[in-house]
Structure 1
Amino acid sequence: MIRVLVVDDSAFMRKLISDYINEETDMTAAGTARNGKDALEKVRTGNFDVITLDVEMPEMNGMEALRSIMETCPHPVIMVSSLTTQGAEQTITALELGAVDFLAKPSGSISLDLHHVKEEMVEKIRTAAQVDAGKKMAPSAPAMQIAKDEPDGISLDGRKTVAIATSTGGPKALQVLLSGLPEDLPAPVFIVQHMPPAFTQSLANRLDQLSRLHVKEAQDGEVAKAGTVYIAPGGRHLAVRRMGRSLITEVLDTPPVNGHRPSADVLFSSLAGVDGFSHVGVVLTGMGADGATGLAEMKKAQDCLLITESQRTSIVYGMPKAARQRAGAEHSLDIGDIAGFLSASLLPGLNK
């Protein structure tokens, strides 16, 4: 049974969220708290598997409480607040601080229509319950450092692309990976991070500050440039097609694939049809199996290198595991080693 602590300054919202949780057979609202201070006291003395945490509260707000929780008694935390829509930057900060995921209240602090996101909420609680909140992600590797168990990388010839898929735990993993890549990376980088609309722009802005590469939200019809990172807009697919010698981004409103939009399968499948390039497919932490089918298509059709994040550093090992099983991804690396391995593979002779 998953024991959940529900934290919200509204008594109505505490009851509504608790009722929805208690309707599920595998979880229970084992406690409630009215603000961050109250939550901290209950976390330290109680026995909880997951915390749902409001952002805007008196005495101690959710961001302050999150910092204290992750520093003193790490627990899987899901941010639940109207501010996760209006303040997407705050959401990205919460994920940096260690929150597993977030849920936006549909209509502000008091959401009478919370039932619209009930299923999403309970699924995120189930996912969060599987997370080891105390797991420390490795710091980013220096751009010129090569992964310890793959000292020479894999030399790729000709023109190159990198495509990355991730979900739960992805924003933090992307920070580690992208901050370790050199500014002269000879390939465009395409990313699918499972996020709803309004959040991927803030994610791109934050990653752009931390990376030597230029990071932006992808736009339809762009010519993809080496050394630039293109993130699929929340709620829309990202695909890539070839036009002459150039690669063109396509931002699509086609239906979700296996429940995801954006979907990594769409991105990888599109690259399967792009010849004349060496492709690198990377699958990082995330729940489910998105990307595994597209990655298998890409491997069958094109010259490519497949990398997955190791179980040791993945917040959730679902997506990397599926990629290894279905696509036969050969290289499983800790998140702190992937940048160095990519650098050696894309820049042959770097450490020779």
Structure 2
Amino acid sequence: MGNSIRVLVVDDSAFMRKVISDMLNKYPGIQVIGTARNGQEALKKRKELRPDVMTLDVEMPVMNGLETLKQLMEEDPCPTVMVSSTTKQGAENTLLAMEYGAVDFVTKPSGAISLDIDKVEHQIIDKVIYASKAKVIRKEEKNVNRPLSNRVVPQKKMNQKKIVAIGISTGGPRALKEVIPKLQASIQAPIVIVQHMPAGFTLSLAERLNSLSDITVKEARDGDFLQNGTAYVAPGGFHLSIKKKGDAFVAHLHTEEPRRGHRPSVDVLYESLAEIPTVDTVAVIMTGMGADGTEGLIKLKKTSNCYAIAEAEKSCVVFGMPKAAIRTNLVDEIVPVEEISRCIERLL
């Protein structure tokens, strides 16, 4: 078992600890080296056992998942996958956990003790594997501001209506917190965001970002007319496409097949914008596993005026989606997360 991923499973329910451990141990490349029933025990075992990854229940007695994660990321960071309930409170706490530095989360299908947890078995395994390779950023770590690159922005037809379209996945809530609150309310474009997340979590994400930002942030609704200075987050479980209606642009939500396993999908959003030649798109591809957004970017670049920004590897939790986009040679600028808002504002 020399090269296997060593995991510490933390949950206050003995049943959940056993089931999650059995699931992970079935996978040949993963070994559960210990379990803990609360946060205090988890921090102690982290020091003793040195796991590669932790799965951490959000709601626990003695010391809950959030407090545990906060302390962990300040003192002794470890890649962590949160295991949460889908309640509104659970969703809000999970988003805070992402901000504190958790790599990703899995939702229990039916409450704190989910007898049907096997429904998410493949998700837990996949996310533990990805977490073992992810970059963990200490809670207090701040990126050093570097001057912006002096790239000349192509001024092909930059007098048209503009839309900023952001695609993001693993590590997204924390990265979006670095970008959206820095945008000015006077920004002359609407912002549309596809963040890979299940239903229920995107509303909490929009509300959280809205509370931190000058611009308005809301979960997109079918038929919304896109307004400058407003960001629209695609709801979990729905694709978001943009349609032109007269001089206006309208959000269209639909449930066509998932793309690359995702609904919402960045490709679907970008492809809808590629069909509107009278719009300038600022396409931003940020941290996330996989390659969602790359096919859509290729179409956008072919048919419309698009300026593409990719997040630099050094600030990504997972450098999958930006890397795939950069490989197309269609990305105009590669910048760390703390420079993305300035790039967007400079283009507008």
Which residue number corresponds to residue 163 of structure 1?
165
Which residue number corresponds to residue 49 of structure 2?
46
Matched, 1:103 2:103: no
Instruction: List per-residue Cα deviations over 1:269-304 (Å, max 9, x = no partner).
Output: 000001211111000000000000001100111011
Matched, 1:89 2:92: yes
Unaligned ranges ≥5, structure 2: none
Quick one: structure 1 residues 140 and 290, their matched pair in 2 at CA, closer, same or farther if it must change by over 3 Å? farther
TM-score of the pair, normalised by structure 2:
0.94
Q: Distance in 2 between matches of 1:261 and 1:70?
A: 31
Moved more, 197-206 or 176-185: 176-185
Counterpart contact for 1:138–1:336, Cα < 8 Å: no
Alpha-carbon distance, 1:26 to partner: 1.1
User: What secondary structure is seen at the aligned counterpart in 2 of 1:326?
Assistant: coil
Alpha-carbon distance, 1:236 to partner: 0.6
User: What secondary structure is seen at the aligned counterpart in 2 of 1:87?
Assistant: helix
Which residue number corresponds to residue 342 of structure 2?
340
Instruction: List per-residue Cα deviations over 1:124-183 (Å, max 9, x = no partner).
Output: 111111112136764698xxxx95213665553321111000000011111111122111
Counterpart contact for 1:218–1:230, Cα < 8 Å: yes
Aligned 1:316-327 pairs, distance under 5 A: 316-326=318-328
Alpha-carbon distance, 1:104 to partner: 1.2
Matched, 1:329 2:331: yes
Which residue number corresponds to residue 7 of structure 1?
10
User: What secondary structure is seen at the aligned counterpart in 2 of 1:312?
Assistant: helix
Aligned 1:98-177 pairs, distance under 5 A: 98-134=101-137, 138=142, 148-150=148-150, 155=155, 156-177=158-179
Aligned 1:27-66 pairs, distance under 5 A: 27-66=30-69
- Which residue of 295, 301, 304 corresponds with 2:303? 301
Counterpart contact for 2:135–2:316, Cα < 8 Å: no
Counterpart contact for 1:162–1:190, Cα < 8 Å: yes
Counterpart contact for 1:53–1:77, Cα < 8 Å: yes
Instruction: List per-residue Cα deviations over 1:250-285 (Å, max 9, x = no partner).
Output: 011111011000000000000000121111100000
Which residue number corresponds to residue 199 of structure 2?
197
Instruction: List per-residue Cα deviations over 1:32-75 (Å, max 9, x = no partner).
Output: 11111000001112221110001222221111111111111011
- Which residue of 21, 25, 29 corresponds with 1:22? 25
Identity of aligned residues (%): 46
Instruction: List per-residue Cα deviations over 1:292-343 (Å, max 9, x = no partner).
Output: 0001100111011000000011110000000111362121001111111111
Q: Distance in 2 between matches of 1:140 and 1:185?
A: 25
Quick one: structure 1 residues 140 and 162, their matched pair in 2 at CA, closer, same or farther if it must change by over 3 Å? farther
> What RMSD over aligned residues (CA atoms) do the two structures have, in Å?
1.8
- Which residue of 256, 264, 267 corresponds with 1:265? 267
- Tell me the matched-pair count: 342
- Which residue of 72, 80, 100 corresponds with 2:83? 80
Q: Distance in 2 between matches of 1:107 and 1:188?
A: 37
Counterpart contact for 1:4–1:28, Cα < 8 Å: yes
Quick one: structure 1 residues 140 and 291, their matched pair in 2 at CA, closer, same or farther if it must change by over 3 Å? farther
Unaligned ranges ≥5, structure 1: 347-352
The code of the aligned residue for 2:254 comes to: L
Alpha-carbon distance, 1:198 to partner: 0.4
